[in-house]
Amino acid sequence: MAVTLTVNGKTQQVDADPETPLLYVLRDDLELNGAKYGCGVGQCGACTVMVDNEAVLSCVTPVLLLEGRRISTVEGLGTMEKPGPMQQAFIEQQAAQCGFCIPGMMMRAQALLQANPTVDEAAVRAHLEPNLCRCGTHMRIVKAVMRAGELMHQSSQSGGST
Amino acid sequence: MTHSDVKNPTRRGVLAGGGSLVVSFALLSQVLAQEGEVQGASPPAEPRPKLPGSLAGDPFLDAWIRIDGNGKVSVFTGKAELGQGVKTAIIQVAAEELEIDPATIRLITADTGQTPNEGYTAGSQSMQNSGTAIRHAAAQVRDILIGQAAARWQVPIDQLRAENGRVIRADGQALDYGSLVSAEILHVEATPQSRLKPADRFRHMGKSMHRVDIPAKVTGAPIYVQDMRLPGMVHARVVRPPRPGATLVSLDSAEVERMSGVVAVVRNGSFLAVVAEREFQAIKAMQVLEMTARWSEGTKFPKPDGFIQSFKNLPSQQGVVAERSQDGVAAARTFQATFTRPYQIHGSIGPSCAVALLENGTTTVWSHTQGVYPDRAAISEMLRVPPEQVRVIHVEGSGCYGHNGADDAAADAALIAQAMPGRPVRLQWMREQEHVWEPYGPAMLTEVRASLDQAGRIVEWNYDLWSNTHTTRPGPAGSLIAAHSLPTPFQPPPAKLSITPSGNGDRNAVPLYAIPNMRVIWHFLPEMPLRVSALRALGAYVNVFAIESTMDELALMANADPVEFRLRHMEDPRGRAVIEAAAADFGWSNDPLPEGRGRGFAFARYKNLAAYLAMALELEVERETGRARIIRVASAIDSGEVVNPDGIRNQTEGGIIQAASWTLYEAVTFEENGITSIDWSSYPIMRFGSVPERIDVRIMDRPGEPFLGTGEAAQGPTPAAIANAIRHATGKRLYDIPFRAENVKAAIGV
Ligand code: FES
Ligand code: FES
């Protein structure tokens, strides 16, 4: 069955059973690697993406629910050549060991900061609670998200004046 | 004794063949002797001195470094990126000695088709082995190029220097590396000594270079084995028996074969898998197959209650780890206790995955294994083909903290690929399969009896530990789960007790403190009712927990400050230095803390021969619930010469958080019918709400010292520092990991 999805601003048709979790459509049909399979049952956050402005676990979200919604993955935040503020901050803070959990962390944080880039550290920690990291990169992830907030805030300020 | 045939020329063979080079090397060693920069063993003599690091196993320089006619440098390491940042550190080392821009290096990691065999990427030894080899090889390659330029220009080498991929002479003329290399020039054996750059001339080493792998990881570039997409690739899932040893009695695969996208149901004895065009189709088919497969009973698990306590009564062999005695010291007071640690999982966030392709009689396997060569040996034995017909290529996976499911997934994929010639097979484990089938860190029980004299010095130390082996890695096919299910199954090889300097279950079982009378025994348990293997730090995790908990109790008995008490017994100056640094950075004192708060200290030198680490932490115990939460940590680490300080910091922070998670939350649970910790809700780990507010890592500056590795140094001290802080906060000592809220609550009796 054909499903129409809008991912990172691009609308495309994929041929998938409507019950297929978004994760597999992103990875296998759209060849996007950002969302990772970690548990498949909504317990780890490795598959986190944004739908409209919310962080969503793509491993437990059937594509059927997503027609007409705006889906974004870490690939939509920027590229290696032109990293977005969230990516820039994670590179600056060297916030990864294996990195497997990181795209999910970034997408969950993006949803938080898009609503309010000036949140405090406690809010960041509380917001990231659903996402697991096994390498113990937590300290850096929190710092990177705080830094991303700064960068986003700065660019929204300067964006207003130019 | 020197092989001077063309295929395997020694350095001297090559030099003898090219007159001018002999001159330049003679000159070179003169210059070196004057500069006093020669490091390593004395010049070649009989018997041949050992080459530095992994050069000993693979002495040819071009096994490690190759330069093409355009000057493009390729560096080969047998070690693998596991998320520890080793690629970046190796690039830094190579760039430093070769005098080139790190960004220009092409680094090839573990691949049986291309790189040296460096065994496993394990034991925090990548920098000691591979880093050392590449550093020496790079320095020797640079000097060969300088020698070439000297010959070409007919000038003495002391008038030349290497810089940015070129050899430059005093008048500013330059030759780039590409124009100086020729086919055979680097195909020479390394010499034991190299002209290593001194620390004060470093451009890259000792500096925090950004990790080369991070930009790809934050942008979603396909860098994990999980991300591989080969043309024509199919997706596979395995169906495991309900318990080890169960065999497949009957299977009705007709329904599954009719499911959309299903390409094949693969059955080989009791090995069962399904292959589909798309991944979610494979998962659905696997679920149906699980329901239709009928299995024999298999092996029951032991009854969990009191199982770890029963270790003392199980059949065991004794290994003497340490024994020393001086007579005539009278013990005044004695502390005695039993410590335990449950089975614990590696629990990588991404379950194990592999891609395999059988083509033209060769099976290629892309795997996140820690050892491409041992894995190749195991897989080829399992497939009953010669090793040359299997190639194993390392591709990064999710974080690796020891022997996890990687090798088993590689074997699964290889086996399935035999049924699908010409089509790449991507096999990934489900979360539950990872939790249930990966080899666990072994449960352990230890007993300590230690005594003080009147003056408050430790005079006697008796330590007994009960543990399985901590290594059941491939090598043999019998170490692979899939091989157990074949029509002619391979059996796991029997485990053997062996006492080695770096230790196994007995790793760090000997306190590094000055103690005159000591006896340390490993009661080796050969039976492994739960599958076990290497988990980060092996026995050091529980041995340091027991030793450093005991040190605090002895300090209390001696009425001494825990830090001062450790220093009193520590003769190694580098050990003293990290203890003092961690205490200073923490602001260690005996000042009272708010209600419910406590401080704890711990120290170990990993394996008693690698990195030194000391840490102090403050935590809070919530009396009503028993929940312990770490507030802040100050640590100091000495990993020898520093290559990438931020990399050391990153790994140390990670090690502390991971070990804190093991200690506060983690235990595999099981009943006779099987493992019951099957996901993240039945096996909880640390989440953001519980990570410390801050973790400081001070790195000791040790220019010129050998690399000591970093990855596992924090694993032992962390549980001890936590237990000591809980003791300080509540007055109660905890002996049994994990310190979950309910256990702490029970211990403090509220
Ligand atoms: S993979 Fe979706 S929450 Fe774990
Ligand atoms: S960086 Fe490895 S799981 Fe988070």
- Rounded to the nearest angstrom, the distance between the alpha carbon of A41 and the centre of ligand 1 is 6
Give me the number of domains chain B comprises. 3
Q: Is residue B462 part of a domain?
A: yes
Q: Is residue B252 part of a domain?
A: yes
pLDDT of residue B34: 35
Q: Tell me the sheet residues that pair with B462.
A: B449, B519
Which of A105-109, B262-266, B324-328, B379-383 has the least mean pLDDT? Answer: B324-328
Confidence of residue B182 (pLDDT cuts 50, 70, 90): confident
Q: What is the mean pLDDT of residues B83-89?
A: 89
Q: Check if A1 contacts B (Cβ < 8 Å).
A: no
Q: What secondary structure does DSSP assign to B367-407, as a single string?
A: E--S-HHHHHHHHHHHHTS-GGGEEEEE-B-S---BS-SHH
The architecture of the domain spanning A2-75 is Roll (3.10)
Which of A38, A80, A125 has the CB atom closest to B350's CB atom? A38
Q: Is residue B316 part of a domain?
A: no
Which helix or strand (DSSP H or E) is residue B255 part of?
Answer: helix B254-258
Q: Check if B645 contacts A (Cβ < 8 Å).
A: no
Q: Does one domain contain both B203 and B111?
A: yes
pLDDT digits (tens, 9 = 90+) for A39-84: 999 999 999 999 999 999 999 999 999 999 999 999 999 999 999 9
CA geometry: angle at B238 spanning B236 and B243, to 5°?
175
pLDDT digits (tens, 9 = 90+) for B507-551: 999 999 999 999 999 999 999 999 999 999 999 999 999 999 999
Tokens found for residue A66: 């997503």
Q: Inform me whether the pLDDT recorded for B383 exceeds 60.
A: yes
pLDDT of residue B398: 97
Which helix or strand (DSSP H or E) is residue B524 part of?
Answer: strand B517-524
C-alpha B94/C-alpha B100 separation (Å) is 8
Q: Please indicate whether, in this complex, the C-beta atoms of A96 and B82 are within 8 angstroms of each other.
A: no
Which of B76-85, B224-233, B660-669, B713-722 has the least mean pLDDT? Answer: B76-85
pLDDT digits (tens, 9 = 90+) for B365-376: 999 999 999 999
Q: Which of B278, B349, B631 to mutate to test the interface with A (most CBs of A within 10 A)?
A: B349
Q: Does one domain contain both B125 and B256?
A: no
Q: Is residue B139 part of a domain?
A: yes
Residues 69 through 98 of chain A touching chain B, CB cutoff 8 Å = 73-75, 77-80, 83, 86-87, 90-91, 94, 96-98
C-alpha B33/C-alpha B27 separation (Å) is 10
Q: Is residue B491 part of a domain?
A: no
The more confident residue out of B7 and B147 is B147
C-alpha B743/C-alpha B667 separation (Å) is 12
The more confident residue out of A111 and B81 is A111
Q: Is residue B485 part of a domain?
A: no
CA-wise closest residue to B643 among B47, B9, B78, B130: B130
C-alpha B5/C-alpha B661 separation (Å) is 57
Percent of chain B with pLDDT over 90: 90
Q: Check if B84 contacts A (Cβ < 8 Å).
A: yes
Provide the b/e sequence for B117-127 (b: ≥16 CB within 10 Å): bbbbbbbbbbb
Query: Does any ligand 1 atom lie closer than 6 A to the CB of residue A130?
Result: no
Q: What is the mean pLDDT of residues B605-612?
A: 97
Confidence of residue B48 (pLDDT cuts 50, 70, 90): low
Q: Does one domain contain both B431 and B562?
A: no
Residue A43 with chain B: CB contacts under 8 Å: 431, 679-681
Confidence of residue B328 (pLDDT cuts 50, 70, 90): low
pLDDT of residue B47: 61
Q: Inform me whether the pLDDT recorded for B2 exceeds 60.
A: no
Mean pLDDT taken over chain B: 92
CATH of the domain at B195: 3.30.365.10
Q: Inform me whether the pLDDT recorded for B458 exceeds 70.
A: yes
Ranges of CATH 3.10.20.30 domains, chain A = 2-75
Q: What is the DSSP letter of B73?
A: E
Q: Check if A149 contacts B (Cβ < 8 Å).
A: no
**Domain stops at, among B148, B176, B207:** B207
pLDDT of residue A161: 42
C-alpha B750/C-alpha B746 separation (Å) is 7
Cα→Cα distances B629→A112, B735, B739, Å: 25, 18, 11
Q: Tell me the sheet residues that pair with B66.
A: B74
Q: What is the mean pLDDT of residues B565-591?
A: 98
Q: Is residue B534 part of a domain?
A: yes
Q: What is the mean pLDDT of residues B321-337?
A: 88
- Angstroms from B215 CA to nearest CA on chain A: 6
Domain A77-157 fold: DNA polymerase; domain 1 (1.10.150)
Q: Does one domain contain both B629 and B552?
A: yes
Q: Inform me whether the pLDDT recorded for B19 exceeds 80.
A: no
**Domain stops at, among B207, B238, B273:** B207
- Angstroms from A119 CA to nearest CA on chain B: 16
Tokens found for residue B318: 């004794």
Q: Does one domain contain both B513 and B432?
A: no
Q: Inform me whether the pLDDT recorded for B27 exceeds 60.
A: no
Tokens found for residue A4: 């129409």
Residue B30's contacts (CB-CB under 8 Å, 6 or more residues apart) are none
Residue B545's contacts (CB-CB under 8 Å, 6 or more residues apart) are B339, B341, B663, B716, B719, B720, B723, B737
pLDDT digits (tens, 9 = 90+) for B117-127: 999 988 778 99
Q: Inform me whether the pLDDT recorded for B391 exceeds 80.
A: yes
Q: Does one domain contain both B701 and B741?
A: yes
E strands, B527-664, in order: 597-605, 612-621, 628-638
Q: Does one domain contain both B463 and B534?
A: yes
Q: What is the mean pLDDT of residues B437-462?
A: 97
**Domain stops at, among B421, B437, B453:** B437
Cα→Cα distances B358→B361, B384, B390, B415, B513, Å: 6, 14, 9, 10, 55
pLDDT of residue B41: 37
- Rounded to the nearest angstrom, the distance between the alpha carbon of A132 and the centre of ligand 1 is 9
Confidence of residue B295 (pLDDT cuts 50, 70, 90): very high
Query: Does any ligand 1 atom lie closer than 6 A to the CB of residue A37?
Result: yes
Q: Does one domain contain both B79 and B144?
A: yes
Confidence of residue B31 (pLDDT cuts 50, 70, 90): very low
Q: Nearest 5°: phi and psi at B69? A: -60, -20
pLDDT digits (tens, 9 = 90+) for A125-155: 999 999 999 999 999 999 999 999 999 999 8
pLDDT of residue B7: 36
> Residues near ligand 2 with C-beta < 6 Å?
A 96-102, 133-135, 137; B 83, 349, 399
Mean pLDDT taken over chain A: 95
Q: What secondary structure does DSSP assign to B38-72, as a single string?
A: EEESPSS-SSPPPPSGGGGTS-BGGGTEEE-TT--
Q: Does one domain contain both B49 and B161?
A: yes
The pTM of this model reads 0.92
Ranges of CATH 1.10.150.120 domains, chain A = 77-157
Percent of chain B with pLDDT over 70: 93
Q: Does one domain contain both B113 and B175?
A: yes
Q: Which of B219, B401, B435 to mutate to test the interface with A (most CBs of A within 10 A)?
A: B219
Query: Does any ligand 1 atom lie closer than 6 A to the CB of residue A100?
Result: no
Provide the b/e sequence for A81-110 (b: ≥16 CB within 10 Å): eebbbbbbbbbbbbbbbbbbbbbbbbbbbb
Q: Is residue B563 part of a domain?
A: yes
Is-contact B27 B174, C-beta < 8 A?
Answer: no
* Reported ipTM exceeds the 0.95 cut: yes
Which helix or strand (DSSP H or E) is residue B718 part of?
Answer: helix B717-730
**Which domain covers residue B272, as residue numbers?**
225-297+346-437
Q: What is the mean pLDDT of residues B554-567?
A: 98
Residues 429 through 448 of chain B touching chain A, CB cutoff 8 Å = 430-431
Q: Please indicate whether, in this complex, the C-beta atoms of B685 and A34 are within 8 angstroms of each other.
A: no
Q: What is the mean pLDDT of residues B24-44?
A: 37
Q: Does one domain contain both B173 and B263?
A: no
Q: Does one domain contain both B251 and B382?
A: yes
Q: What is the mean pLDDT of residues B242-263?
A: 96
Confidence of residue B20 (pLDDT cuts 50, 70, 90): very low
Q: Inform me whether the pLDDT recorded for B22 exceeds 60.
A: no
